[in-house]
Structure 1
């Protein structure tokens, strides 16, 4: 009599399918939500946070110049190293930040992509950035930090936690960073059924840490910012965007935030939460969260990531 073979452990796809089948109907996903939380930094009493300055008109002027082939970067641009920091799932997306890096390199700039874990924890990635800044200092270099999405949060966090590194940093550019928090991340982390899904899917599919999503929720960002405010004397430019268009790949998320909360968002981050206090801000209402880091299909996007990055760096290096 043959011995029965042991039962096979279900594969990743089977486990994911089983997990999805166990989710409740959509109306029960809502959870407590984040109504009224977006833009909380804007409601901090006057004097407690430095004001922002709107550079949107100047952005469009420089963008037109870039599209016409005119130089916009100041002469000093070649003196710095540009450390680019990827956002959530950046390691999983082909072409992510590729145009951004290539554009700066074509302008003769020294570009380094930080070796952060895009699904890793904030403090672990801050440690990576701290080492990059110390290395630059060792070789007598000054640095311009450029971070997209979660990467922008990490750029500001390393200077909030280690303000002495201000001496190494010439400027900071945040592109669609959920500095104040992410409504999508908040709802994923605070809705029990969705939290179980990311606890299951993140380690399995991306070898990531699901707590990295929770770190972008409003309570955790509030606690971090209150304990570690961003230094006000660092030249910083923030890109804050929104879009509500069926042509956007993120339209379902844009519609979700619009219909549930009336939040203007780019599909991942509300425009209000992307503004770093004290920064010079570019506010666009026709860009989704992917367009600053990934080239869109023709006819679906209005911006080229390389153009956006070049203009934002130029703005960051201009004297306020």
Structure 2
């Protein structure tokens, strides 16, 4: 972990005046902090896709079910049913990603679509700015409750939530019997390039160390949980079981029409990574999972409804099709 220079004891820092808004307080507070040295370093160059490279020759390639995804998506858009009859036998536990509690409408369409199909849906009460291990404990309790009442569960996690869905099964193998299938939507299973750069560049780390507790009552180390070194250590120590039916959505986009274009452009120009703005496509593929690969979806579009004309996809459609794919397997 990098260290940063402390304040000069001979130069007292003035106390920032209190402002009525969080953003104003953040701005004033940052001015009162000691300056961080400008440093970009190597960033995460060459780290994206590390898991696929490490698995070469030892793990069979992930089946690409993108054509099947588009077949089912076309049917959903025509109002045709695609979920199998067994779908109503399970409980669907949806897990939000980073900052999910702060975004109006986040996962709303996803939840409502499954409920309209007559499914039992539970949003896991995770802290979206909390540590991975703490949120895994919350999911463990949800799975234990389901087991107590004889329910089977389909886990559906977006972004960081997908990482937590896989982590609970890697850490607690005895709970695999409760889980019928897992759906990960744009989950940084191998790590997040943006999270890595935020956690390792001093100027950016200084910002999240200050902003997360102040604005979101969160833990800045939750960003570090998604950086490449932490994900490498976790995955090597706790590999995801390959006997659970799992479907992963891996996406990328580079478009000025995307709300995440600045981040997509940053990762493309600095590293030549194909990403959705937060996660590179190769890092979103869970080992052993069937994979849907899309090159026209950004990181928000699986969980938030876009403005008309800016997206080909509706979060509810995507979720319904991904669940159908998960229940087709296994």
Tell me the TM-score normalized by structure 2.
Answer: 0.91
Partner residue of 1:254?
264
- Residues 1-320 of structure 1: matches in 2 within 5 Å? 10-11=18-19, 12-18=22-28, 28=38, 30-319=40-329
Distance 1:48 1:215 in 2: 26
CA RMSD of aligned residues (A): 1.8
For residues 231 and 30 of structure 1, the distance between their equivalents in structure 2, rounded to whole angstroms, comes to 36
Change (3 A) 1:68 1:13: closer
- SS of the equivalent of 2:182 reads strand
For residue 28 of structure 1, report the CA deviation from its aligned partner: 3.9
Query: Could you tell which deviates more after superposition, 65-74 or 14-23?
Result: 14-23
| Contact 1:145–1:171 under 8 Å retained in 2 | yes
Report if the CA contact (8 A) 1:243-1:286 is conserved: yes
Conserved? CA contact 2:93–2:155, under 8 Å: yes
> So what's the TM-score if we normalise by structure 1?
0.94
Using the TM superposition, give the Cα deviation of residue 141 of structure 1 relative to its aligned residue in structure 2, in angstroms: 0.3
How many residues in Structure 1 have an aligned counterpart in Structure 2? 313
Q: Distance in 2 between matches of 1:264 and 1:210?
A: 26
